[in-house]
């Protein structure tokens, strides 16, 4: 038994060592999870804030451990406290690097070991010898250094460090190390790397209003032009023209002549409708494009498909549905393929569905994501799916590895199986499964799954300049909204966790999943509901994009996201150092350009009345857009709102040309549908929300 345990420990240590040493100073916690963001107060004892590896419970445990050490000398006590708190550092996975067994203390910066000047710490590099000087003759009960003694045992270890090590050199040979290209060391405070980019927060985001229509999706035309496809929730798609920056022109769109009208097939209400739009990577040649929408099998028989609540996932469909089981899975999520006649001068769409790619019945009428994206590197279709709805994911679909709810799927829509292959393989439609999907390693996963553990992924994107960066926002329940870096086979925690916080579901008809049985990947950005100041008293995240235009150079390379209600600003996430995965985020104000082509709507024109922020978009010029209930906005140079940006070169602008009256507001507004489940409704085309709170907030 002991031999087996020892062998497991050695194998675990070797694995951890391999992972940590390959990280090249990538933020990673000791349990191999990604760091997460603390709230505004940070940690009470360890005083870390921003990106951390400790929650409040772990912080309290460290405080108790420190008190048990009973250190009498104040100078030594301060250093030892910082050593204990290194567990919370976002680089703690590397600070506690392993050789044959996990370390009890971090690698202490030691000036006797040469450090690479480009990666050296910004703090003193002789921390190890300083600690020796302050603490070697101080009594330390339950010392963490005891477990790192030469004998690797507490036998014969006195209460003083000098009882086991005779000099600073000997002590630091055991515990010391230097920061170089592949490692970091601890020097008494949060790890910071030299040469890190300036992370100062932009002073604000300047917007101009281009149109009054309310849209849910924007997709740049693949011909590289200034045209984009826009779609709304009721089921219409338009081909529109984006004016040049600084032209003073408005969006070129004919609302009365949509590119494609699917309103007869789409079932539209608060959390249902047309949710996604994607052009095939080879659209210029084959004209193929794909639409994700919801339908009602009662009203449209062609909608009907297999129910996601079934015996395979331990769910009884007779107990669910909008009519308490009388009509289970009445609503469906569908992906349909259409085509454009590329030989026609204008690229006319053929309105008939080419094929049904995917159809799945939904257990409830909320939380079913619906966005679709093609991977820029692999060409596969990614499909974002929520947990199906109801408070707390009662059937635990998100953690059920056979269920497609609460997942991000990855489908091959180019290699299509025949009907016999579909029935034998159990697929949900006309697609095949990429051979390198995670199920090839994890046999418990349904083959379509790319990542799991989501509540309601709302707006995901690939970075234009780093396609491996796939970021998804996920809507929280009562406390926390999050942004995740999505990776193959990753488990993002819901419903075991809500963001970095343990979640206790109010009901468990579908069973539960223990925290110890999963290895969740925690968010890299996010916010607590308590951080928002909005009259609705609730929160719902809207994911965005890495800003890659040079129109606002102070936003360049930062990830932008928002809350549904705007709540005073737009969130800007900064990665520091670049490619580290270590983000800090802050909410910055937004303003309306004084020369906006369309008045932004508020009494004070400097503050646009955005209404609900539904989505973000990007065009072929790399400009970023905000899609809201009040219209379409584009991010412009900060000087147009009198926001300071030291990187901007300001040039005088000509007054805007006179324009025809802007188009009237769309009568088919996208709805603020997707986040809160029952109790969230739109009472009129004007933004009028009523939330009914019946959710338990206890943790």
> 177 by DSSP, 3-state: which?
strand
- Which token pair is 260? 């494609």
The pLDDT value given to residue 600: 87
* Residue carrying the six token digits 């050789």: 99
Closest CA to 362 of 383, 341, 390, 401: 390
The pLDDT value given to residue 675: 45
Instruction: For residue 420, count other CB atoms closer than 10 A to its CB.
Output: 8
Each domain of the chain, given as residue ranges in start order, spans 2-177, 205-690
Pairing of strands 176-177, 108-109: parallel
The pLDDT value given to residue 589: 92
Q: For 509, how many CA atoms within 13 A lie in the half-sphere containing its CB?
A: 12
Q: How far is CA 157 from the centre of its chain?
A: 47
Q: Which helix (H) or strand (E) holds 169?
A: helix 168-175
3-state secondary structure 120-144: CECCCCCHHHHHHHHHCCCCCCCCH
What is the edge-to-edge ordering of all strands in the sheet holding 236-241? 217-220, 227-231, 236-241, 260-261
> 309 by DSSP, 3-state: which?
coil
- Which token pair is 88? 């919370």
Q: 674-693: b or e for each residue (b if 16 or more CB lie within 10 Å)?
A: bbbbeebbbeeeebebeeee
- Which token pair is 226? 């200034």
- Which token pair is 423? 């029935």
Peptide bond between residue 381 and the one before it cis (omega within 30 degrees of 0): no
CA dihedral 53, 56, 59, 63 (to 10 degrees): 180
The pLDDT value given to residue 595: 93
Q: For residues 428 and 366, give the distance between their C-alpha atoms in angstroms, rounded to a whole number.
A: 20
Average pLDDT of the chain, as a whole number: 82
The pLDDT value given to residue 542: 97
Closest CA to 194 of 368, 341, 67, 25: 25
Listing DSSP states for 92-109 in one string gives HHHHT--SSS--SSPPEE
Closest CA to 584 of 572, 568, 570, 602: 572
Closest CA to 307 of 407, 404, 393: 404
Q: For residues 47 and 38, give the distance between their C-alpha atoms in angstroms, rounded to a whole number.
A: 10
Q: For residues 295 and 428, give the distance between their C-alpha atoms in angstroms, rounded to a whole number.
A: 16
Tell me the backbone φ, ψ of residue 169, rounded to 5 degrees: -60, -45
The pLDDT value given to residue 477: 93
The pLDDT value given to residue 257: 95
Q: For residues 452 and 490, give the distance between their C-alpha atoms in angstroms, rounded to a whole number.
A: 6
Q: What is the pTM of this model?
A: 0.70
Instruction: Say which CATH topology domain 205-690 has.
Output: Neuraminidase (2.120.10)
Give the chain's residues under pLDDT 70.
1-26, 37-42, 49-50, 97-102, 111-125, 147-158, 179-183, 192-199, 321-326, 344-346, 420-424, 533-537, 568, 601-606, 651-699
Q: For residues 27 and 46, give the distance between their C-alpha atoms in angstroms, rounded to a whole number.
A: 18
* Residue carrying the six token digits 């983000």: 583
Q: For residues 353 and 336, give the distance between their C-alpha atoms in angstroms, rounded to a whole number.
A: 7
DSSP 475: -
């Amino acid at each position: 038994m002991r031999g087996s345990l020892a062998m497991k420990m050695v194998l675990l240590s070797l694995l951890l060592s391999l992972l940590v040493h390959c990280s090249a100073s990538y933020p990673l916690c000791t349990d191999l999870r990604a760091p997460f963001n603390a709230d505004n107060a940070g940690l009470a004892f360890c005083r870390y804030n921003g990106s951390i590896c400790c929650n409040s419970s772990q912080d309290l445990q460290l405080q108790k451990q420190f008190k048990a050490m009973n250190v009498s000398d104040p100078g030594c006590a301060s250093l030892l406290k910082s050593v204990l708190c290194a567990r919370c550092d976002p680089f703690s996975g590397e600070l506690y690097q392993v050789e044959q067994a996990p370390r009890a203390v971090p690698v202490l910066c030691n000036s006797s070991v040469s450090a690479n000047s480009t990666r050296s710490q910004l703090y003193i590099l002789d921390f190890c010898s300083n600690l020796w000087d302050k603490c070697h003759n101080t009594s330390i009960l339950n010392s963490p250094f005891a477990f790192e003694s030469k004998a690797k045992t507490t036998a014969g270890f006195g209460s003083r460090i000098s009882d086991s090590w005779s000099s600073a050199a000997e002590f630091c040979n055991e515990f010391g190390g230097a920061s170089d290209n592949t490692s970091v060391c601890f020097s008494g405070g949060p790890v910071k790397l030299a040469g890190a980019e300036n992370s100062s927060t932009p002073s604000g985001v300047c917007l101009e209003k281009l149109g009054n229509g309310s849209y849910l999706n924007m997709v740049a035309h693949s011909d590289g032009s200034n045209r984009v496809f826009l779609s709304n929730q009721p089921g219409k798609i338009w081909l529109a023209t984006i004016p040049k920056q600084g032209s003073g022109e408005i969006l070129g769109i004919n609302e009365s002549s949509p590119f494609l009208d699917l309103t007869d097939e789409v079932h539209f209400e608060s959390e249902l409708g047309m949710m996604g739009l994607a052009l095939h990577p080879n659209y210029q040649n084959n004209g193929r494009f794909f639409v994700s929408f919801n339908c009602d099998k009662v009203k449209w028989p062609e909608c009907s498909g297999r129910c996601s609540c079934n015996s395979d996932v331990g769910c009884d469909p007779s107990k669910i549905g909008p009519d308490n089981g009388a009509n289970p899975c009445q609503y469906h999520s569908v992906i349909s393929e259409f085509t454009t006649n590329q030989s026609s001068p204008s690229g006319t769409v053929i309105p008939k569905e080419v094929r049904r790619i995917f159809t799945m019945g939904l257990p409830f009428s909320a939380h079913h994501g619906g966005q679709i994206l093609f991977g820029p590197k692999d060409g596969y279709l990614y499909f974002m799916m929520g947990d199906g709805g109801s408070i707390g994911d009662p059937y635990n679909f998100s953690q059920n590895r056979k269920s497609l709810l609460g997942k991000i799927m990855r489908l091959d829509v180019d290699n299509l199986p025949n009907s016999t292959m579909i029935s034998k393989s159990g697929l949900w439609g006309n697609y095949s499964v990429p051979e390198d999907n995670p199920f090839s390693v994890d046999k418990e996963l349904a083959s379509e799954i790319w990542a799991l553990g989501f509540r309601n992924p709302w707006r995901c994107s690939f970075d234009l300049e780093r396609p491996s960066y796939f970021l998804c926002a996920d809507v929280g329940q009562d406390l926390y909204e999050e942004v995740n870096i999505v990776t193959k086979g990753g488990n993002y925690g819901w419903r075991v966790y809500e963001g970095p916080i343990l979640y206790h579901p109010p009901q468990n008809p579908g069973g539960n999943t223990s925290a110890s049985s999963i290895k969740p990947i925690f968010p890299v950005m996010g916010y607590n509901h308590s951080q928002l100041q909005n009259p609705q008293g609730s929160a719902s995240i809207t994911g965005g994009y890495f800003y890659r235009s040079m129109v606002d150079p102070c936003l360049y390379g930062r990830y932008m996201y928002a809350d549904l209600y705007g709540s005073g600003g737009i969130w800007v996430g900064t990665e520091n150092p670049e490619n580290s995965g270590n983000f800090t985020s802050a909410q910055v104000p937004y303003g309306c350009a004084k020369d906006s082509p369309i008045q932004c709507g508020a009494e004070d024109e400097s503050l646009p009345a955005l209404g609900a922020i539904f989505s973000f978009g990007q065009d072929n010029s790399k400009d970023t857009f905000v899609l809201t209930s009040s219209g379409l906005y584009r991010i412009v140079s900060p000087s147009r709102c009198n926001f300071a940006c030291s990187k901007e070169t300001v040039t005088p602008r000509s007054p805007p040309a006179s324009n025809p009256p802007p188009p009237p507001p769309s009568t088919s507004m996208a709805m603020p549908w997707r986040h809160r489940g029952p109790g969230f409704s739109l009472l009129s085309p004007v933004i009028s929300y009523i939330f009914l709170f019946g959710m338990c907030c206890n943790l």
